[in-house]
Structure 1
């Protein structure tokens, strides 16, 4: 099997795109089983890993307009998963925390995410999974991707998103 692209094979970038789309679709379907969107799961994961982060800091971390983060947090708060607390040092800022219900939901999300990864890599042995993860992490780092942040957040509600003209 050749590692290069030829006239009859798919290149690495194509395969990564194909697998990424499949993984995102499958993950969204898994999150739907617990009545959650993939972006909401990502926001909950970020809040769980960095409790007390402000909405503004979360917006910067995700690369999303603050108004979009507020809309997502509003939904998660209304569902009882997130609470906002005023920052005692700067009352303009709201610190974000998971509620007890949000922490229970995170356990479900984590379980579903582990199952999802298991399905996505089912044809690989442990060594192959480790090698694949290392190679993908190296590529992500070289591309300057923010660790633990889905690239879809970069365009979600971002101002001045431009498409390149076809041609």
Structure 2
């Protein structure tokens, strides 16, 4: 075994894919802990964020965007509706469809969530300068776009 072979296993520990997975898993776990204080899962938090950005989307549209089977999405949305965070309204143009909207309670929860998310990101990136933080964000956006990932949609929705 030469010196090159001894170094190879250590290279795997600094490979970008490994580091992204390691930091991503850490960040996801910490975010889940923080959203749990609001009695939300990260997936539920994500749906609230989608609805503030695009209110009135149909269940089918949202299920398709999130990569969830429509039947599973209905159950997912039911939980948020039961808690009074979202409401379904019949689409006046197509009464077979339900449009989803945040309730006032959902908007208030989203405000709390924004503070939780901001704190989580600040904690995660505290070793970076503001310029490095901005650069990291830009690089990750570019990688995500190149890989065809939908902005704002976590691949974990497929497992909800």
TM-score (norm 2): 0.92
* Among 59, 63, 80, the residue aligned to 1:59: 63
Q: Which runs of 5+ in 1 are unaligned?
A: 158-167
Question: Could you say what the CA RMSD is over the residues aligned between the two structures, in angstroms?
Answer: 1.2
Superposed, 1:144-159 pairs within 5 Å as 144-153=148-157, 155-156=158-159
* Among 76, 82, 98, the residue aligned to 2:80: 76
* Among 47, 66, 70, the residue aligned to 2:51: 47
CA deviation after TM superposition for structure 1 residue 69, in Å: 1.1
1:98 corresponds to 2:102 = yes
Rg larger in structure: 2
**What is the alpha-carbon distance in structure 2 between the residues aligned to residue 6 and residue 49 of structure 1?**
46
Matched pairs, number: 152
1:140 corresponds to 2:148 = no
TM-score (norm 1): 0.88
Q: Which runs of 5+ in 2 are unaligned?
A: 1-6
* Among 119, 124, 127, the residue aligned to 1:123: 127
Question: Greater share of strand residues, 1 or 2?
Answer: 2
* Among 87, 90, 112, the residue aligned to 2:116: 112
**What is the alpha-carbon distance in structure 2 between the residues aligned to residue 130 and residue 37 of structure 1?**
27
CA deviation after TM superposition for structure 1 residue 8, in Å: 1.7
CA deviation after TM superposition for structure 1 residue 135, in Å: 0.8
Question: Greater share of helix residues, 1 or 2?
Answer: 2
CA deviation after TM superposition for structure 1 residue 7, in Å: 3.3
User: Equivalent residue for 1:22?
Assistant: 26
Aligned pair in 2 of structure 1 residues 126, 106: CA closer, same or farther (>3 Å)? same
Could you list the per-position Cα deviations for residues 43-102 of structure 1 after superposition, in whole angstroms to 9, with x for gaps in the alignment? Answer: 111111110000000001101111111111100000000000000000010000000000
